[in-house]
Structure 1
């Protein structure tokens, strides 16, 4: 079925026609996740990494109220440089379309659009999850519930270490989301190689991840996502001691400044960038490029 609310970029349209492997990419990392001008440079590097690994990048966003799968260079440049780009989760897509807004899609929205567009693999940095103190605030990312109902493979470095990692894994289990480690039985913590929790399953190569996807399709029982947790090598992670000190300061800053809701993650990521003098940004970039490479190889294996 053709979805007339979605426009496909030229490269993605050609890939769909030929059956070439596609990898979905989010746009919030461009508009809200990385500082300027690094955001534009990294966006291009991510797409180049996907191409080099044998797949076609499909960066997803909204331009003038229209969902675009496969943003052009000009459209990516616009989202990277504009101050009026709205951060879009799934619930925001229809209101933003009606308002003819320019928007950048979160993990949840990117995953939903990718599935609607027939794209099976998505690369991101780290997932959203259960925020610290959620027992009081009920603050958890829409990523979790979205992934419970979307049949997509998400390659990530676990969940952002600024979150409650243990509670997030519990929620993923409750929601029936499959989680496998890539060459590890430990769940990564985004900036950190080891997030502190064991995993039941792992795969050794892209073919192993593809085999899980094929098994799920054949069974037609599980309709949620497969998370492939791809940790940084220990030598490339942010120094754990530095990470813990910066996180503690950042959490204190949240309370001091009254930051809540969807502003929490951008606040903490910006704090990490400033407090580590750019080292966290370097780690963040390595994470997304490694995940883009692996996602492309999984897409090709499928």
Structure 2
């Protein structure tokens, strides 16, 4: 049996095994969406709302080269306070993992990881789109492509 590339925390793993609701949460809102400590407060608040509604939150990020599905409070705080964390879409994951880096996951990366983990419910602060001038720059968010390919 080969090792999994996904590292599910105990709570998320148990919920999935037991068939309980799990909600995947993207992490670029934490790493790139707002300043510290408001980002940490918001992340904790969103996780609380998920719990209050009977589900288990699974904030997804890359931490020290490992894809984490469900962060503990220490990991969440480190991610929120870090200055050297990158923003990762699905196409960036392998390079970040090999380099041992940490990253907030965009909608596209989070959706892909959630699908691989067996999580069918996803919440986000917003998706990327077609950026102004895309006819010349082709600056189109990977979120749109992933939405068309992933069932989460």
Q: Say whether the fold is shared (TM-score over 0.5).
A: yes
- Aligned partner of 2:108 in structure 1 is 108
* Root-mean-square deviation over aligned CA pairs: 1.3
The yes-or-no answer on 1:89 pairing with 2:89 is yes
Q: Where do 1:144-163 residues align within 5 Å?
A: 144-152=144-152
Show structure 2 runs of 5+ residues with no match: none
Larger helix share, 1 or 2: 1
Q: Which has the larger radius of gyration?
A: 1
Matched position secondary structure for 1:34: coil
- Aligned partner of 1:247 in structure 2 is none
- Aligned partner of 1:73 in structure 2 is 73
Counterparts of 1:2 and 1:79, CA distance in 2: 28
Matched position secondary structure for 1:33: coil
Counterparts of 2:126 and 2:66, CA distance in 1: 26
- Alpha-carbon deviation of 1:34? 1.2
Q: 1:62 to 1:14 in 2, by over 3 A?
A: same
Q: 1:41 to 1:9 in 2, by over 3 A?
A: same
Q: Where do 1:202-221 residues align within 5 Å?
A: none
Q: 1:3 to 1:123 in 2, by over 3 A?
A: farther
Counterparts of 1:126 and 1:86, CA distance in 2: 18
Show structure 1 runs of 5+ residues with no match: 153-302
Q: 1:141 to 1:100 in 2, by over 3 A?
A: same
Task: Give TM-score scaled by structure 1 length.
Answer: 0.49
Task: Give TM-score scaled by structure 2 length.
Answer: 0.96
Counterparts of 1:17 and 1:148, CA distance in 2: 27
Q: 1:22 to 1:135 in 2, by over 3 A?
A: same
- Aligned partner of 2:30 in structure 1 is 30
